Amino acid sequence: MKILILSRNHRLYSTRRLVEAGEEHGHELRVVDYLRLYMNITSHKPAVIFRGEHLELYDAVIPRIGAPHTFYGAAVVRQFEMTGTRPVNESQAITRSRDKLRSLQLLARAGVGLPVTGFANFTHDIDGLIDAVGGTPVVIKLLEGTQGMGVVLAETRKSAKAVIEAFRQLDANILIQEYVEEAGGSDIRAFVVGRRVVAAMQRTAPEGEFRSNIHRGGSVEKVKLTPEERSTAVRSARTMGLNVAGVDLMRSNHGPVVLEVNSSPGLEGVESVTGVDVAGKIIEFIERQAKPPSKKGPPE
């Protein structure tokens, strides 16, 4: 098979591992920077072009789209869909998961456990918004934040009001969520490929910090999930329409609650901690899904 990886940097751990795993399975892998691609949007012969070369003859595409480039990256993936090339994660699923508010609404509609969450534009009733999520402490999140940036823990009502007012003066969209104290500053990243969890790790925040992201100095360890946690992770990925996903969840007193569903989860942490060849699992999924390309149009 010929597999194309859409990645800004071929030296990134996740990109390198996917290339290695694909080659170990006997496939031909190529990495291209999706921001350097351009598209010919026509009814009869849509094309994706790189330096004058048409790229429609690949059997599969693995999108590794960074959050700052979601709009253009998803457009490139959608163009491949128009040509009949199968992406591991479809464009609609990528954009759906990147919209934090929409993804939480979809998960809630599907009955997936979530932290109590509030969203508002009008700030004259901040007390009511705080009360709606159970009172302080609360976690305040920028909708556009990634890797723990734009996330603030407000321990008192006064500090929560100050943060909310400051964000709204910047015309920033924010979510307010209950603080899951019993999680003890830890969350779980469950790596879903297809219809099952292939690996999982627990991330714990460093001393004096509540964000457990590895990029913020959090520690990681292998963790065994309960059947309910596995089911929640798989349901969350399916709700987003993602075949490959990193589902972040917390253990609360009322069961697992999902924080976020990531469409381009990193492989380095989970592979190093668990010893699982996650890249190989992704390649195996592509092999199972391989079939002659269809000429269907892109999803709405």
pLDDT in tens, 256-294: 999 999 999 999 999 999 999 999 999 999 999 875 555
Classify residue 102: in a domain, yes or no.
Answer: no
Per-residue model confidence (pLDDT) at position 174: 83
CA-wise closest residue to 55 among 74, 77, 73? 77
Strand order in the sheet with 86-87: 28-32, 2-6, 60-63, 86-87
Structure tokens at 98: 């990147």
Q: How many domains does the chain have?
A: 3
Query: For the chain, which residues score pLDDT lower than 70?
Result: 122-123, 144-148, 207-217, 291-300
* In a shared domain, residues 24 and 67: yes
pTM of the model: 0.87
What string of DSSP letters covers 242-258? -SEEEEEEEEETTEEEE
Distances (CA, A) of 250 to 146, 193, 212, 233: 18, 20, 11, 11
Residues 86 and 134 in one domain: no
What pLDDT digit, counting tens, does each position of 220-247 carry? 899 999 999 999 999 999 999 999 999 9
CATH number of the domain residue 155 falls in:
3.30.1490.20
Q: What is the pLDDT of residues 80-99, one digit of tens each?
A: 999 999 999 999 999 999 99
Domain of 173 in residue numbering reads as 117-179
Question: Do 195 and 249 lie in a common domain?
Answer: yes
Task: Give the Cα separation of 244 and 77 in Å (integer).
Answer: 15
